[in-house]
Amino acid sequence: MEAVREPKSPEKAKAKEERQSPAGNRPLFPFSAIVNQEKAKEALLYALINPGVHGVLLLGEKGTGKTTLVRSLSTLLPEVQVVELPLGSGEEMVLGTVDAEKTLATGKVSIKSGILSRADGQILYIDEVNLLADHLMDVILDAAATGRYRLEREGISQDFSARFVLVGTMNPEEGWLRPQLLDRFGLAVHVSGLSSVEGRAEVFNRAQAYEGDPWGFSARFEAEQKALSRRLREARKRVTRVEIPEALLSQVLETVMNAGIGTHRAELSTLRAAQARAAWEGHDTVSWEDIQAVMPLALQHRLPWKDIQHVVTWEEIEEKVYRGGKDAEDRSRSGWLRSPFYRKKKAPRG
């Protein structure tokens, strides 16, 4: 029997929009209105600019604004929606299933689309990703990497397109993902509560203003939103022509290997995120500055000598790779490309 996908009716499309915005038809909290969290914002933008980054994992305690941040991405690209995977989703909800009633009525196998299919061309958001069943996580990560998945049900076998930007959030206090699964996320960023009275007060004031008048609050940030949206669209077009100099490629590979990292995903995520950053800055060539900015995000969850619960900085990577372990003379003989930001200690004045 021929398999037929269930068409999307206007009612279902409207219901989908309401599910994606928990507040119903009111505007989502603007991306530009989120206080601080600059690293998390950057990582999410890089993943939108270059899907080859292969997703972002946000690490942080509950109540730090992770979900609000992810949902706000749709305010920059309204045509790209955030499709949320409910906690406790089963295999049929994720992959889809046969619509028995319609199949019996029409004589043709009708398929109810799963969340992976509905996320095609969108952002797939998994909150508390560490609590999702491992076998489902494997399927989702495979789909994120390949852009497709196969549904096999009741005698049918069919491929579906599933090209989405994967974003996961998790509270480390509730347990970790297996290392193999962690490695499948391109970038990882810690999201924490603000540490200043002024910053937390601003978060409170903006939340209050948004709850009181979502439309008026959104209007306050309209100019910033339009500027960010325009810049994001331009970067998404530019990224396809951003080049990586051979010398820079060699230096990134040397850095990753000397950091003790075996997985090739470390350099892939670093370089693709660097391309996204270059495009975001309006450049056609990746610079060492781009590498420095994104490498800590790509290595945050991959460094064997660093506790994942602590934020990785470029200074730590530089200290470990450029100053420790390998002898400087050996580096010189092997063609080691020193970081242009490597800082020698000044000799004491005599």
Query: Catalytic site residues?
Result: 265
**Rounded-to-integer distance, Cα 26 and Cα 138, Å:** 35
Kindly give the pairing relationship between strand 109-113 and strand 187-190.
unpaired
- Amino acid present at 22: P
How many alpha carbons lie under 13 Å from residue 182 in its C-beta half-sphere?
Answer: 21
CA Rg, the chain, in Å?
22
Q: How far is CA 192 from CA 94, 259, 311, 316, in A?
A: 30, 26, 11, 20
**Rounded-to-integer distance, Cα 2 and Cα 97, Å:** 15
- With tokens 């930007």, the residue in question is 165
